[in-house]
Structure formats: structure tokens, C-alpha cells
Amino acid sequence: MRTVELGTAHITQKGIDYVHEVLASGRITYGSFSQRFETLFARMHSSRFAVLSNSGTSSLQVALHALKILKGWKDGDKILVPSTTFVASVNVILQNGLVPRFVDVDPQHYDLQAKLIESAITKRTRGIMVVHLFGQPADMSKILPIARRHKLSIIEDSCETMFAKHKGRVVGSWGDVACFSMYTAHLVTTGVGGVATTNNHKLALLMKSLCNHGRDSVYLSIDDDADTSAQSFSFVLKNRFKFRHIGYSYRVTELEAALGLSQLETYADIIVPRQRNAAYLTKRLHNLEPFFQLPSHREGSEHVYMVYPLVIRDARIKRDDLLLFLEKRGIETRYLLPLINQPVYRFLKINPKDYPVSTNLNHHGFYIGCHQKLSKQDLDYVITAFNDYIRQQKLS
């Protein structure tokens, strides 16, 4: 039976060579590959600084923590967050002593509805966590003026989206800070790994410190005491084991950085086939649009398709029956990021009726893969499976 997975590990010969270079050097902690990765990633996302961590969630955690310190936020202050996203977006808000305030999402593109933001702002609102879902930027050209008008920070949760532009500006360049994931099945894949981008030097230093147990920023790498004068070395020596904040052990190794760097250098080999595969699926599934909402591009936005999201339109189709049909044929599926119905958030007393779009997605949304290693035969297999289901259910 053919298998059509949601994602793939993009390991090339260049990546293997880079990893061998790391192993041969004996230096597997933060070093030249990490530095090269951060420099290139920041440049590709129109940012001055990039800070590596061991996951996208860790990057979000330290980004919020750093903003809370720098801006003097208090426990109980609120962060707006879309009501459809991965649980990590909300978990890091709670873990930082802040309170999530949910805002419903756009029914076509599944991101934060800009027109609903201002009604959700209170005197204790401090920021907006904007999530770029599934490979498409949120509607930043509408969200940014609102944030500026109300003096709110913007945190871009871009764990599922890299390289994509909205109105000519790339994700990661709109907010105070942006966070990306390199987990397996994402776009750049290193097994584990995350990165945060910012144009704020103080914020970058603080995030790097927090990833390193809150260590004094004078010594965040074993290279920080090299080639210094006697006077400078004395200062470093006195401060390198001083810890200024309660931080975390969120460091990443040179091995992940090496794998990531190889993919940044050839990122078109990841993105272009995904876009091509998504376009092929949309073209060939067009006849099923009475039954399914297919993904689409927002005007002025690119889409890099981490996955291919769909929403059931026809009430006769039972989502779990369809997904079981697909899974039995080797086509991997996932629900479309249920959030507000998660049992862990019962204490937040969320009323699903307040978020009709997200509630509909929770009942009818799902996604399949469209990654770069899928062949035309794989895609045709998926298309045939969808048509077979509709035919067997006698819906056409």
C-alpha cells in the first residue's frame, strides 16, 4: 500500500557533509555553524538578529519572557491569540504568568481576524500573538496599525511558516519578535530546533541569555573569552558564571544548526515543490469544492504550504469517517489544530459560541501532506481516494 505522509525530513548530501564536519571538529556546542545559521536566517527574514533554541516552543517561551522583562509586564496582563492554533501558542502565555484572550479566526485563511482585534483589547492587554498558520502569513498589513495605535507588542508565531511574504514583507519582519520551528514535518527540518528573530539588540541578548539559564550576556558561548585583552578577560572571568535571570536550558547543538544551514542554502528545493504540489491538488480537487473548502492565497500573500488544509462543507460528510477512510489507504491526516475545546483549558471557561469559525474548524477541518518528496503518483493517489470516498458515499 502506498504511504502519503504529512511531512518529510529534508536531509541532503550537503546536510550530511556539514554534520560530518561538525563531528570531525569535536565541537558540538554553539559554534560556527550556529553562527552562520543565525546570520543567514536573520537576513532571509529581514531581521538584524536571530537566536537559536531547541524548539519553536522554547523560542516563543523566551520571547514572551524577554518582552515581559523589558517592558515591565505584570502577571495577569493579557495577550491576544487566535482561537485556532497549536497549543504551544497558548501554553507559553500561561507559563509566563500572562492571560490568553482568544480572538476568532478568518474563515478562509484560518488566521487572526483583524476586524475583531480592537473589541478584544482591554486596559491590561499588552501584546498580540499573531500566528502564521500552515505556511501562509497572517493579514499583517491590517494587524500592525492596530497594534501601533494601541501600543501593543507583536509576537509572530511563525513556527509553521518561513520565507513567505505578505505585501512584500517577509514573515518575521513585522513584529517585535518572531519565532520559528524546525521540528520534523515542518519546512526546515532538523529533528528539534527553533529560532527567534528580532531587530531589537537588547531583546536578542536577553533571549540568548534566557536560553542559557539566564547567564550574564558577557559569556553566552565558549568563544566569548577568546582573543580578549587581559583587562577584558578579567571582566569576563568575574561575570561569566553570574546569572541575571531565571532562565532555561534551551540550547541547540551544532548538529541541528548544520542540518538547518544546509536547508537554508537550498530552501527553494523545499518551498517550490510544495507550492507546485498544492497547486496540483487544488486543480485536481476542484470538482469536489461543493464538498470541501480548499486552501487559497490571501491577496498580496505568498503561501509555502507546510501542509494542505481542508474544511468539510457538506454536512453529510462525517469527518472521522472520511479520515479513517484515508488513513486505511495510507494517507496521513490530522485535525486542523483544535484549541478552544482542549480539556487542559477548561479552567479558562471558554464558550465555543464566542468563536464560531474556530468551532466549525474543530468539527470539520483537517489537513493532509503536500511536501516536496511526494510524487505526482502520490498526489494522484490522494485525489483518487477523495473521489472514491465521495462516490462510495453516493454524494455526487
Q: CATH 3.90.1150.10 in the chain: give the residue spans.
A: 268-392
Find the helix or strand (DSSP H, E) in which 234 lies.
helix 230-239
CATH number for the segment(s) 268-392: 3.90.1150.10
Cβ-in-10-Å burial (0-12, 13-18, 19+) of 193 comes to: buried
460528510: which residue's cell? Answer: 317
**Band of pLDDT at residue 203, cut at 50, 70 and 90:** very high
- For 40-99, how does the pLDDT look when each residue is reduced to its tens digit (9 = 90+)? 999 999 999 999 999 999 999 999 999 999 999 999 999 999 999 999 999 999 999 999
CA-closest candidate to residue 178, choices 53, 22, 329, 15: 53
Q: What are the residues whose beta carbons fall under 8 Å from the beta carbon of 72, sequence distance 6 or more?
A: none
Check: CATH 3.40.640.10 for 13-264? yes
User: For 135-158, what is the mean pLDDT?
Assistant: 98
User: For 334-356, what is the mean pLDDT?
Assistant: 96
Residue 220 pLDDT greater than 60, yes or no = no
**Band of pLDDT at residue 235, cut at 50, 70 and 90:** low
Q: CATH 3.40.640.10 in the chain: give the residue spans.
A: 13-264
Question: For residues 304 and 41, what is the distance between their CA atoms, to the nearest angstrom?
Answer: 16
